[in-house]
Amino acid sequence: MDSDSSTLTGECFCGAIAYTITGSVFDARSCHCSKCRKAFSSQASSYALVEPGTFSWTRGQDLLTTYESEPGFGLAFCSRCGSTLCGLHNDQVHGITLGCLNEDPHIEIGRHIFVASKASWEVIPDSVVQYAENSPE
Ligand SMILES: [Zn+2]
Ligand SMILES: [Zn+2]
């Protein structure tokens, strides 16, 4: 595999924390539930999975703060600027927030879930794949 062309990098808003991903990111999804709105400070989450063992922190890991939202599941964010960088499952990085990527990951959000819970002010185009609640896996 050509590691140069497939390497992605990401960083938080203030730049103190950075990471690299040597594999692809996949299964991009956006969750519109009320919890994700607050967790991502946005209309929805924008999240994609990483292949196990392909993610590593390259800068500022000591500034990471984690929040466990459910047993075994959590988010890691920058304690300086507040950017949410990744999702954790049993303390392992299992996905990244698309907004913190520096490069084009060459994927699009493939499904919008919990659309029935979306904020009244959000307008979702009819053309996207959407589910009222969770999508069938
Ligand atoms: Zn930061
Ligand atoms: Zn959600």
Q: How would DSSP label each residue in 72-120?
A: TEEEEEETTT--EEEEEETTEEEEEEGGGBSS--S----EEE-GGG--T
**pLDDT tens, position by position, 41-74:** 999 999 999 999 999 999 999 999 999 989 999 9
- The dihedrals phi and psi of 37, each to the nearest 5 degrees, come to -55, -40
Which ligand is located closest to the Cα atom of residue 15? 1
Q: What is the pLDDT of residue 102?
A: 97
Query: What domains sit in the chain, N to C, each tagged with a CATH number?
Result: 7-117 (2.170.150.70)
pTM, full prediction: 0.91
Largest CA distance in the chain: 45
How far, in Å, from the CA of 34 to the mean position of ligand 2? 7
Which ligand is located closest to the Cα atom of residue 44? 2
How far, in Å, from the CA of 5 to the mean position of ligand 2? 32
